[in-house]
Amino acid sequence: MVMIPDTDVAASRAEFATTLWTEVHHASAADPERRRAALESLAQSYWPPLYVFARRRRLGPEDAQDAVQAFFARLIETDGFATADPARGRFRTWLRAAFGHFLSDAWDRGRALKRGGGRPVLTLDVRDGEAGLALDPPDRTTPERMFDRDWARLVIRRALDALRRELLQSGRGEHFDLMTSIS
């Protein structure tokens, strides 16, 4: 079972996998240790942007967590990572599209008469505990564009964290402070 990472902690991890397609390949590996490590790394990297993507598709916090968790579980159960192909584009684009289809399928299943016996559904928009997440998209911004923007921000944050660590280790931490204080 994939563990749900703390969104803030996962988003601020400084390590950035440079061989992501290798990790994707390892997620389908026969070696259980290699497979587990790859699945954990992929889940840690992609859980936060998928969660925010689900929230922007108007899922509540718990439903968004459940959807991301179920999506990763489905990929693991069906060896879905094996269908990702580097020749067809970026992994994050494949993952976002696959998650979008997963959410659409779940929505279709949810529309079937299942809960409430046909009674009207009351939706409550509860947002406590989600300060700092840009969940309300501007009028013309799609969840897909916001996913890409958030992914770019995560990559930049990880690169800056790595640069800061490198400069601190070499005794030049003040250079990083000076560089980041310039507006």
User: What pLDDT is stored for residue 13 in this prediction?
Assistant: 42
Residues of the chain short of pLDDT 70, as ranges, are: 1-19, 110-140, 183
Taking the whole predicted model, whether its pTM rises above 0.75 is answered as no
The answer to whether 77 and 70 have CB atoms below 8 angstroms apart is no
User: What pLDDT is stored for residue 137 in this prediction?
Assistant: 52
User: What pLDDT is stored for residue 98 in this prediction?
Assistant: 93
User: What pLDDT is stored for residue 53 in this prediction?
Assistant: 92
Kindly give, in sequence order, each residue whose CB lies less than 8 Å from that of residue 59, ignoring residues fewer than 6 positions away.
67, 103
The answer to whether 164 and 173 have CB atoms below 8 angstroms apart is yes
User: What pLDDT is stored for residue 101 in this prediction?
Assistant: 92
User: What pLDDT is stored for residue 15 in this prediction?
Assistant: 37
Q: State pLDDT tens for residues 160-182.
A: 889 989 989 999 888 888 877 77
Query: Where do the H-state alpha helices sit in the chain?
Result: 7-11, 20-26, 32-56, 61-77, 91-111, 143-169, 173-181
